[in-house]
Amino acid sequence: MLDKNASKNDLTLELNELVDVMLDSAPERLIANKSIVDRLVELLCDVTKIELHPALFRDEHATTTSKGRAVSMTTAAQCAEEFMRTQVFIRGAYSAITEQLKGKESIELLYGGTGPFGLIVLPLLHRFAPEQVQLTLLDIHPESLEALEHVIEVLQVSDYIRSIQCVDILEWDAPAKAFDVIVSETMKMLLKDEPQVSIFRHLAPSLKDGGTLIPRQVQLDAWITSDGKERNESHHIGRFFTLDLASSLALSLQSEPKIECSLELPTRQNKVVDLTLTTYIQVYGEEWLYDNQCSLNLTFCINDIEPSESDGKIHFWYEFTRLPRFAFKYDVDANALEKLTLLADPLEQNSIGIPYIKHYWQKHQLIKTGRYNSNTLGNAKCENLEDRCALEHQMLVALNLPLYETLQEVYQSRTEEEFCDFILGKNNGVLNPSQIVEVTQLASQIS
Ligand SMILES: C[S@@+](CC[C@H](N)C(=O)[O-])C[C@H]1O[C@@H](n2cnc3c(N)ncnc32)[C@H](O)[C@@H]1O
């Protein structure tokens, strides 16, 4: 018994020491702390008996709520491996708690979506006393909360826990102005797929006056880069949304929430430009995550936009659906399609990384306007119509696209992006690598 307790204490000590390194590192040293985060994850997996990378992982245990996907226990555990995300979130939560405790003896913290490790908050609790911080922990997945009980035991933090509830946060009866800090990391880049926006909309009224959300803000920005220029030569055209306390409270007052914005695309002598969309996260204070520091900050690029001569604008709006996301549309240069004389190479990838779709969409616009002929084919070499139709049909099957509906969509969509939205919609918002490989192989028989 003595031995068992001794080794448990050793484990607690090691976990606390790892988190102390993360908290005490200078910001520029975080990049060198990967092995510290890896060790933390290894220990937490041992404690919870979670197999982080099963041989055959299909991620079938996610739950699709009315306003976004709650990732499975295994996926939530894998998030911990993103070492910049893990450190910046833990450091930000630590600063927020420290700030909130200035002038108060104790604070109430709500953690919405703990995953199996309660990673953003539980490992830092040894820096505070249980009388200072009391936690309410929520997650939709019972298996995650079962694992969390083991983490609580090994970190010896049960005295800090006010309650643990297995609920869909969006259905939870959230008490008004009850918490000093509300933590939730339920997002992907551009606030897509997961329910972060709706969770903050639902929980913001539960924050006491002077309280803080973690992350404190998520900024979504649009940039343009001229053809051939590097990303660091981008020109900022504007911010299309900030998720923070103010916007969350404003959304909470709307029964049918709406997020919309339009940004002006500057006219640049008809030069082709690329549009880049970024996600910057301020967890708290100095703790920020920028371009590509983790999967939540991947930049998203749309190539070859032709700004219209006059008032070319990009319109953004958020779709509050089971797979929420920003949709965007830019004013198409009315002449752009008329100027099109040569189809894109069948192997050219489009904004969502699939070949052939650009070519396929352009081809149907030419057919629609009676301008499709052997001169417009460009690099498309498979001229036998039957072979070509058969290959296209196989591509549609690979992309889960029903023939009749897809033909309707390809003719009716105003832009290629709109057609891509349709494709993503038929694939739960993401295409898997094997689909892209299959389409590439088929497209190479046409190119
Ligand atoms: C991306 S994981 C993050 C886990 C952990 N907080 C971390 O940062 O490592 C998101 C977690 O939120 C939970 N979640 C997402 N939507 C939820 C909802 N509507 N109600 C309850 N839990 C939810 C998921 O089950 C998952 O455990």
Does residue 144's CB lie within 6 angstroms of at least one atom of ligand 1?
A: yes
pLDDT at 414: 74
In this prediction, residues 210-222 reach a mean pLDDT of 97
pLDDT at 271: 60
Which residues in the chain are classed under CATH 3.40.50.150? 1-326
Does residue 88's CB lie within 6 angstroms of at least one atom of ligand 1?
A: no
Q: Which residue has the tokens 């420290």?
A: 98
Residues 6+ apart with CB under 8 A from 305: 224, 265, 272, 273, 274, 275, 330
Query: In this predicted model, what pLDDT tens digit does every residue of 275-303 receive, in sequence order?
Result: 889 999 999 999 999 988 999 988 887 76
- Give 186 Cα–ligand 1 centroid separation in angstroms: 5
pLDDT at 3: 64
Confidence of residue 420 (pLDDT cuts 50, 70, 90): confident
Are the C-beta atoms of 349 and 355 separated by less than 8 Å?
Answer: yes
Query: In this predicted model, what pLDDT tens digit does every residue of 75-114 receive, in sequence order?
Result: 999 999 999 999 999 999 999 999 999 989 999 999 999 9
156 vs 382, more confident: 156
Q: Average pLDDT, whole number, for the chain?
A: 88
pLDDT at 336: 62
Are the C-beta atoms of 442 and 356 separated by less than 8 Å?
Answer: yes
Query: In this predicted model, what pLDDT tens digit does every residue of 237-281 receive, in sequence order?
Result: 899 999 999 999 999 999 999 999 988 876 554 466 778 899 999
Does residue 169's CB lie within 6 angstroms of at least one atom of ligand 1?
A: yes
DSSP 301: E
Confidence of residue 380 (pLDDT cuts 50, 70, 90): low
**Topology at the third CATH level for domain 1-326:** Rossmann fold (3.40.50)
* Residue of 24, 61, 50 lying closest to 117 (CA atoms): 50
Query: In this predicted model, what pLDDT tens digit does every residue of 336-370 receive, in sequence order?
Result: 666 777 788 888 877 777 888 988 888 888 887 77
What is the C-alpha R_g of the chain? 25
Mapped onto helix, strand or coil, the DSSP state of residue 101 is coil
Q: Which of 114, 121, 124, 173 to mutate to test the pocket of ligand 1 (most atoms within 8 A of CB)?
A: 114
Q: Return the biggest CA–CA distance within the chain.
A: 85
